[in-house]
């Protein structure tokens, strides 16, 4: 059994968070080193094949890509989060593959980080199309037997999507788009994800401040609305 786990991380990275959710769900202890991705240190560039986080060092072996890391952790540590049934497992992997399209296809992130009120309706419409695919998938594959993607137990699809929904909900507090109002299965799924210890404890204490800085740097509408409301208090 491997003994040491060292995660190379960035505070607001959703792909890193997916790895952390998996480590927490599996009860694996790990050390963390944070890197500044705007000034990547040489040791990091030498270690990370794509110059990206997450990287997980396992007894000195370098793993990269959050999906590969999640699959590795699931193979090595109990409890198994992937479904035992190969057909269900393949479908889960397919929905995990949908994540980049869901987030950036353009997708949910374009709404979360939307720059202006004028851009909001278009971003909302695209995000609705993306969420609707998940709503249909859940209705077809699982029905009402939630709250997680496959049912009562967390799975790798949950670990993949949770960070993106978490960020959206932080922005939604200010944007108030009502995106999830017409998607009850996804809405209940998101509620469950954001109430799960493996997810809630997967960001460091400095996350809220770093996320706000990120919004500000992106010139996000959510940030203008938040800072405007704070100034009015
Ligand atoms: N497909 C990769 C995406 C990882 C990724 O994009 N990480 C970002 C931070 S959130 C990064 O390291 N960006 C640095 C860069 O692209 O230079 C994964 O799933 O691990």
165 and 95: one domain?
A: yes
Average pLDDT, the chain: 97
62 and 91: one domain?
A: no
User: Which atom in ligand 1 lies closest to the alpha carbon of residue 69?
Assistant: 20
Instruction: Answer yes or no: is the C-beta of 65 below 6 A from any ligand 1 atom.
Output: yes
Please check whether residue 199 is in contact with residue 147, taking contact to mean a CB–CB distance below 8 angstroms. no
Sheet holding 5-9, edge to edge: 31-34, 5-9, 55-58, 61-64
- Show which of 56, 76, 96 is a domain's final residue: 76
Residue 102 falls inside a structural domain: yes
Q: Rounded distance, CA 134 to CA 141, Å? A: 10
Side-chain half-sphere exposure of 43, counting CA atoms within 13 A: 5
- Residue 37: predicted pLDDT: 96
- Residue 59: predicted pLDDT: 97
CATH number for the domain that contains residue 191:
1.20.1050.10
Residue 70, classified by CB atoms within 10 Å of its CB into exposed (0-12), middle (13-18) or buried (19+), is: buried
Question: pTM of the predicted model, to two decimals?
Answer: 0.97
44 and 103: one domain?
A: no
Query: How many independent structural domains does the chain possess?
Result: 2
Residue 225 falls inside a structural domain: no
Residue pLDDT, tens place only, 162-201: 999 999 999 999 999 999 999 999 999 999 999 999 999 9
- Show which of 48, 76, 104 is a domain's final residue: 76
Question: Smallest Cα–Cα separation from 16: which of 30, 2, 1?
Answer: 30
- Residue 180: predicted pLDDT: 98
16 and 65: one domain?
A: yes
Residue 205 falls inside a structural domain: no
CATH number for the domain that contains residue 28:
3.40.30.10
Instruction: Answer yes or no: is the C-beta of 51 below 6 A from any ligand 1 atom.
Output: yes
181 and 94: one domain?
A: yes
Confidence of residue 29 (pLDDT cuts 50, 70, 90): very high
CA of 139 to the centre of ligand 1 (A): 31
90 and 178: one domain?
A: yes
99 and 176: one domain?
A: yes
Do the bridges between strand 31-34 and strand 55-58 make them parallel or antiparallel, or are there none, so unpaired?
unpaired
Q: Ligand 1: which residue has its CA nearest to atom 14?
A: 52
93 and 178: one domain?
A: yes
User: Distance between alpha carbon 4 and the CA centroid of its chain, in Å?
Assistant: 24
Residue pLDDT, tens place only, 58-113: 998 999 999 999 999 999 999 999 999 999 999 999 999 999 999 999 999 999 99
Range of the domain at 185: 86-200
CA of 233 to the centre of ligand 1 (A): 37
Residue pLDDT, tens place only, 120-149: 999 999 999 999 999 999 999 998 899 999
Residue 114 falls inside a structural domain: yes
Active site residue 171: no
Confidence of residue 232 (pLDDT cuts 50, 70, 90): confident
CA of 15 to the centre of ligand 1 (A): 7
- Residue 122: predicted pLDDT: 97
Q: Rounded distance, CA 62 to CA 55, Å? A: 7
Residue 183 falls inside a structural domain: yes
108 and 150: one domain?
A: yes
Instruction: Answer yes or no: is the C-beta of 210 below 6 A from any ligand 1 atom.
Output: no
CA of 53 to the centre of ligand 1 (A): 5
37 and 96: one domain?
A: no
Residue 68 falls inside a structural domain: yes
Instruction: Answer yes or no: is the C-beta of 160 below 6 A from any ligand 1 atom.
Output: no
In degrees and rounded to multiples of 5, residue 118 shows phi and psi of -65, -35
Confidence of residue 229 (pLDDT cuts 50, 70, 90): confident
Residue 226 falls inside a structural domain: no
9 and 101: one domain?
A: no
118 and 164: one domain?
A: yes
Residue 227 falls inside a structural domain: no
Using CA atoms in the order 96, 101, 104, 108, what is the torsion angle rounded to 10 degrees? Answer: -80
Strands of the chain, DSSP E: 5-9, 31-34, 55-58, 61-64
Instruction: Answer yes or no: is the C-beta of 13 below 6 A from any ligand 1 atom.
Output: yes
- Show which of 49, 76, 103 is a domain's final residue: 76
């Amino acid at each position: 059994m491997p003994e040491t786990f060292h995660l190379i991380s960035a505070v607001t990275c959703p792909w890193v968070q997916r790895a952390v959710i998996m480590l927490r769900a599996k009860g694996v202890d790990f050390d963390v080193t944070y890197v500044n991705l705007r000034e990547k240190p040489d040791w990091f560039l030498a270690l990370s094949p794509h110059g990206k986080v997450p990287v997980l060092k396992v007894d000195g072996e370098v793993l990269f890509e959050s999906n590969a890391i999640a699959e590795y952790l699931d193979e090595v540590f109990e409890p198994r989060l992937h479904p035992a049934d190969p057909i269900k497992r393949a479908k889960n992997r397919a929905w995990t593959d949908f994540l980049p399209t869901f987030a950036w296809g353009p997708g949910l992130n374009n709404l979360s980080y939307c720059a202006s009120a004028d851009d909001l309706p278009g971003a909302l419409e695209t995000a609705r199309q993306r969420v609707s695919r998940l709503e249909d998938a859940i209705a077809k594959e699982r029905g009402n037997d939630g709250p997680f993607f496959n049912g009562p137990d967390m799975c790798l699809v949950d670990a993949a999507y949770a960070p993106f929904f978490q960020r959206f909900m932080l922005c939604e507090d200010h944007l108030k788009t009502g995106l999830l109002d017409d998607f009850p299965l996804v809405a209940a799924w998101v509620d469950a994800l954001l109430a799960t210890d493996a997810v809630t404890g997967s960001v460091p204490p400095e996350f809220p401040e770093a996320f706000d800085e990120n919004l500000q740097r992106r010139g996000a509408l959510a940030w203008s609305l938040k800072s405007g409301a704070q100034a009015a208090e």
